[in-house]
Chain A
Amino acid sequence: MTTEHIVVVGGGMVAHRFTEALRARDTDGRYSVEVIAEEPRAPYDRVALTSYFSGKSPEDLQLGDPALWRDPLVTLHRDSRATAVDRDRRIVTVEGGREVSYDHLVLATGSYAWAPPTPGADLAGVFMYRTVDDVAALRGWVEERRAALGRPVRGAVIGGGLLGLEAAGALQNLGAVSTVIQFADRLMNLQVDEGGGEALKRLIEGMGVTVRCSTATKEIRAGKDGHVGSLLFADGGEQLVDVVVFATGVRPRDELGAAAGLELGARGGVVVDDTCLTADPAVSAIGEVACIQGACLGLIAPGNTMAEIAVDRLLGGTPTFPGADMAAKLKLLGVDVASFGDAFATTPGALEMVYADPVNGVYKKLVLTDDATTLLGGILVGDASAYASLRPMVGAALPGDPAAWILPEGSVEKGEIELPDDAGVCSCNNVSAGAIRGAVNDHDCHDLGAVKACTKAGTSCGSCLPLVKKIMSTELEKAGIEVSNALCEHFALSRAQLFNAIKVAEVTTFSEVIERFGTGRGCDICKPTVGSILASLYNEHVLGGDRAALQDTNDRVMANMQKDGTYSVVPRVPGGEILPEHLILIGQIAQDFGLYTKITGGQRIDLFGARLEQLPQIWKRLVDAGMESGHAYGKSLRTVKSCVGSTWCRYGVQDSVGMAIALELRYRGLRSPHKLKLGVSGCARECAEARGKDVGVIATDKGWNVYVGGNGGFTPVHAQLLVEDVPDEDVFRVIDRYLMYYIRTADRLQRTAPWQQEHEGGLDEIRRIVVDDSLGLGEELDAHMARHIDSYEDEWKAVLNDPVRLRQFTSFVNAPEEPDPTLAYVPQRGQRRPATSEERASGAVLIAPTTLEVRS
């Protein structure tokens, strides 16, 4: 089969989706793809552009697996602009004169940022908001002006739509004061109605952004220095500004198609049919440049749908565009806004049901059919938590009283919703409720991981996971498959249930726990779980009472077991700050005991190859010098990583090391369902990689941003913003509650990222609980953490003072000093490592443990 050549003009998100989908589905290699991209970088996530201001680098915005661009059937030309299309010869001309021939052409040129013709729009200090380069230039300008002016920069955003509010948020993040100038009578007039616009305005103003609606900008005037200086309005008003951002909408970049003689829509855009094909069977158009069903669509979801449709058609399928889902849920300046379906009640006879609470800044509206049963659309401002459940229900009957969905939680009982099969659940990956049910019923996916792997639902942003879990559980129940949360054969309870039971019953030993809540004698699953719960609740020594026998491999001896049964020892180095004398001591101990030494990822030092009977001797030397256990072995706080921060760094804005030490000393020894790692960065450059941690704290000019639920490991996840610009004491309180709430409610060995994703209502609900105290749990969580902090003791020191517990640290009960004779090592790069079985068999030069006796 000959390979046909597809040329894609445009290197945005839709071009990426097209290329990715084609390469994923064209398994026979029928097509090769050449992408001509104008920007100097591979396609990136334009929707997340604003996150560039909260410290992300352009690389963080990269879309998908970069391996796509190394695929031999894919060629990406960056910094390359197509200038003409010759449809007769099937040739695209690229800037510089190069000609590229195609069998099929895909126009994915997207849009450009449009600004109304305004005198002064060419002054220095006036910006657009469309590309990474735009936002980088804006950031550079604001930082430079702040330094030059020695006062906060005054910013104005012209345009109060979605992008305008994003831009205003970006200016705020950069420390500028910002005003939004909106021509229409309300903010986001395309998505929300008057009531929603009012609520939105109040909320946005509450964030410190000034809002001027019904205002036309007549002119931008220069200041004395020749840069942008003020805005003159049509009503005669004037406003001083140091930077202006235009966010007044986009227009399709259809000039290439127009010049090639393709038909354009009335308001621009290359006209395509429902399969994204133009009148020329060798040319498709997808994304914002396509005029489909009479309109150009400026959202990513319909763009991705068009990319998938074009791929499907090229591979012989017969897809058609289902109509645009213009539903949107956003968080702008920390404010939830969602709009879906027939939000403006244009359906004849449609009823609007509205709940507004101006005090708390909430506005919710449902649009229903004239019999008040079928959901047509809605608007949610200030609290959009119902969006995930409601959006897929558009066109279906809402069970129970619809008011339950907009009234405050608990005031009216919500009906149980049963999503229709074709209701979309995961909009990132276009997965329907039916597909999830199919995975459960036809593909035997009986847990969330299996459903995710099978359908791809929830694998991108994860916001639909609570819903996916709910649909899965309902199906399993219907099929009579018991959804077992049981810990193991000894406990029918889940970890969270068991935690609660132990807490309420106030039992303190494993024997009592298993007698009251379980059966049998326990096992290697439930014993460590109960050990961890008891430690979280009472914070008594892990080896005290009957608890030593509960602890897993590492906790049992407070060191990390390695493959040959010896241990590694990690003393705590809070925040990574270490005294030279401690560094020297660690080196001396390593030399004296012949330990292999390695720096860990958590900014401390790991000493490997210590035998069980050597642990107390090593600890004693560390403890005598004022060091303590680093809990590297525990399902507990590991480290708080930090950058050097404002005390030394030229760029730091807060003392990140001081904060990291405070956090590490606060949470040291805290037992949890899984290990906990924290990070603190002293500025938005984020050198401590805090967003890869369970809790990441990042300095701002005004305080700290706290991010939660980041994980490295097998499935890396970036932490999400919990609170912004808070002072030290709020950082502690919010993290206290977040961690305690996690400890109480997570499953066994469930890290914070999946816990947060699967929590009912996601992060928004967790924020209500730990920040707004919606469950009234705050004081209890605070008190619990205070008890933990007050009762902390160094576990190593406590064992050194206890002869009974020390007996556990002998090699042999009948030969306490005798080292394990089977240990064997070989030298490597000046240290030692365990010998492999081949090396043992070959009798290579081995180091026996007896030659490793402590040096005098």
Chain B
Amino acid sequence: MTVTAASSVASSRVVVCDYDRLSPELGVAALVEGVQIALFRLWDGSVHAVQNRCPFSGAQVMSRGITGDRGGVPTVASPIYKQVFSLLDGSCLVTMDKEPVAGAAADLVVYPVSIDNGQVIIDLAGGE
């Protein structure tokens, strides 16, 4: 679980939903100030947020990918062409011999997530 200190820029932190609304290993999409985000609650209870757009198809689908691990690193696979990404830093681990769509980076943007009072909070400005 990535917990951001409460002292960071308050305006970019947005409450998305109740933690209990997230099912283990089953991602959901969130629309946060016009940005589409994929949210995952994993087996260990940790919550991860990455961009919802799949870099290799351009479709907003990452929340519907299968979670798992590669060598212990938690991952999500794109449901379109099955590229695998790290949920820790967003890096693309398996490209399936494909290139991202024009103008897209192969890696996913990862957003800091915190849980406060049973609520899931995303730091939009902290995305990298």
Interface of A with B (CB < 8 Å)? 489-490, 520-524, 526-528, 546, 548-550, 552-553, 556-557, 561, 563-565, 612, 807-808, 810-815, 818, 820-822, 837
Contacts and interface: CB of A to CB of B under 8 A. Distances in A.
B29 A522 contact: no
B34 to A, nearest CB: 8
Contact of B24 (A527, A546, A561, A814): A546
10 contacts: A523-B77, A527-B66, A552-B66, A553-B64, A553-B79, A556-B64, A808-B23, A812-B36, A813-B17, A821-B31
B70 A489 contact: yes
A818 B31 contact: yes
Interface residues on B, range: 35 or more
A-B pairs, 5 with minimum CB distance: A565-B59, A549-B25, A524-B77, A523-B68, A553-B79
A743 to B, nearest CB: 22
Given A561-B79, A814-B30, A837-B102, A820 B69 contact: no
Nearest to B103: A837
B26 interface: yes
Given A552-B66, A813-B16, A563 B57 contact: yes
A827 to B, nearest CB: 21
Contacts of B72: 520
A110 B74 CA distance: 67
B1 interface: no
B68 A812 contact: no
Given A489-B71, A524-B68, A549 B60 contact: no
B69 A523 contact: yes
A523 B30 contact: no
Contacts of A552: 66, 79
A561 B84 contact: no
Contacts of A561: 61, 64, 79-80
Given A524-B65, A812-B30, A837 B70 contact: no
Contacts of A490: 68
B82 A521 contact: no
Contact of A837 (B26, B31, B42, B101): B101
Contacts of A564: 58-59
Nearest to A522: B68
A528 B79 CA distance: 12
B26 A548 contact: yes
A523 B87 CA distance: 13
A822 B65 contact: no
Contacts of A814: 16-17, 30-32
Contacts of A612: 64
Most buried by A among B26, B30, B36, B57: B26
A523 B66 contact: yes
A815 B69 contact: no
A813 B49 CA distance: 13
A549 B26 contact: yes
Contacts of B22: 813
B75 interface: yes
A520 B69 contact: yes
B58 A523 contact: no
B67 interface: yes
B108 interface: no
A523 B21 CA distance: 23
A612 B67 CA distance: 19
Given A820-B36, A837-B58, A553 B26 contact: no
Contacts of A807: 21
B110 interface: no
Given A563-B57, A812-B30, A815-B31, A521 B39 contact: no
B38 to A, nearest CB: 10
Contacts of A813: 16-17, 21-22, 28-30, 39
Given A553-B80, A822-B53, 19 more contacts: A521-B67, A523-B68, A523-B70, A527-B66, A548-B23, A552-B79, A553-B79, A556-B64, A563-B57, A612-B64, A811-B29, A812-B29, A812-B31, A813-B16, A813-B17, A814-B16, A814-B30, A820-B36, A821-B34
A548 B58 CA distance: 24
A524 B30 contact: no
A820 B53 CA distance: 11
Nearest to A810: B28
